[in-house]
Amino acid sequence: MNAPMPNSPWPGYQLDALLPQDMALKAEQVGMAKAAMGFYKMFTLAVLAGAFIALGAVFATTVTAGAQGLPFGVVKLLGGLVFCLGLILVVVGGAELFTGNNLIVMAWAGRRVSSARLLRNWAIVYAGNFLGASATAGLMFFTGSHYFGGAAVGLNMLAIANAKCGLDFGQAVALGVMCNALVCLAVWLCFSCRTTSGKIISIIFPISAFVAAGFEHCVANMYFIPAGLLVKAGAGAEFWQALGKAPDAYANLTWSNFLVANLAPVTLGNILGGVVLVGLVYWFVFLKVRETR
């Protein structure tokens, strides 16, 4: 472990970041605690995490609405930077996010967490995330935000959701793999931090990168797509008149496409990216050697 700072006015308090070996041990301890959490606490924190990620999605949808005059990359970058709000709220506020909890596999691989405990956590947290994100989508519909900016926000909601529902299965899996590799790397970097500001900085670049690159996050999509579906089904005639379009223009946007063509493959990709490309790699490098002694 890192030594305390010399001549520190607060003995035992350290500002220096943890090194990767200690990060791995911390990740294992955090995974054990998450897996042992009681149902009600776990589910409640998962609902919060779904709502927090949805708030990041609301921010990104609003900021990028009507920004078609800017270069593509600039618009994507702006959306990615503000979307970071979601994971900042999750990590600093203390909530349970399915994609980040894929790192519990580090405790599972070291036999500190059973398979049943691992799957229990993932199932409860996934359900809670879905409830929190989709409920936020419902609440946002009743705010009438899809009318904001001369219906530019609603147009953006529809465009985002329709595009996500039009992905090929293999493409959705690959985009999910890349996304959660970056999300879990953001969480991994946070294990090194001793301050809130350090955690926020660690989150910004990996998360803005995944959004800017167009990768797919299952919990974010639990907001983005229901938000678009609600606008498509429930917006009034004046909304469509403002857009100069009809609901049929968004043919990909159906509940079946949401669940089958997007959420299922993206969730699979997220698990592969978080578990294999981050969790098991860091377990192998920093913790497996302990298992073979």
- Within a domain: residue 198? yes
The average pLDDT across 278-284 equals: 97
- What's the pLDDT tens digit per position in 12-33? 556 678 999 999 999 999 999 9
pLDDT band at 138 (very low <50, low <70, confident <90, very high): very high
The average pLDDT across 203-219 equals: 98
Q: What are phi and psi of 46, to 5 degrees?
A: -70, -40
Mean pLDDT rounded to a whole number for the chain: 93
pLDDT of residue 288: 86
Q: Please tell me the total count of domains within the chain.
A: 1
The average pLDDT across 191-207 equals: 96
Residue 293 confidence (pLDDT) above 90: no
The average pLDDT across 84-104 equals: 98
Residue 155 confidence (pLDDT) above 90: yes
- Within a domain: residue 200? yes
- Within a domain: residue 256? yes
Residues contacting 252, CB < 8 A, separation 6+: 162, 163, 165, 166
- Within a domain: residue 3? no
Residue 195 confidence (pLDDT) above 80: yes
Residue 6 confidence (pLDDT) above 90: no
Backbone φ/ψ region at 193: left (φ over 0), alpha (ψ -120 to 50), beta:
beta
CATH classification at residue 235: 1.20.1080.10
- Within a domain: residue 28? yes
The average pLDDT across 90-97 equals: 97
Backbone φ/ψ region at 104: left (φ over 0), alpha (ψ -120 to 50), beta:
alpha
Residue 11 confidence (pLDDT) above 70: no
pLDDT of residue 150: 93
Residue 10 confidence (pLDDT) above 50: no
Residues contacting 241, CB < 8 A, separation 6+: none
The average pLDDT across 239-243 equals: 93
Domain extent for 204: 20-291
Assessment of whether the complete model's pTM goes beyond 0.85: yes
Residues contacting 279, CB < 8 A, separation 6+: 102, 103, 104, 105, 106, 109, 184
What is the DSSP annotation of the chain?
-PPPPTT-SSTT---SPPPHHHHHHHHHHHHHHHHH--HHHHHHHHHHHHHHHHHHHHHHHHHHTT-TTS-HHHHHHHHHHHHTHHHHHHHHHT---TTGGGGGHHHHHTTSS-HHHHHHHHHHHHHHHHHHHHHHHHHHHHHTGGGHHHHHHHHHHHHHHHHHTT--HHHHHHHHHHHHHHHHHHHHHHTT-SSHHHHHHHHHHHHHHHHHTT---HHHHHHHHHHHHHHHHH--HHHHHHHT--GGG-TT--HHIIIIIIIHHHHHHHHIIIIIIIIIHHHHHHTHHHHT-
- Within a domain: residue 13? no
- Within a domain: residue 95? yes
- Within a domain: residue 2? no
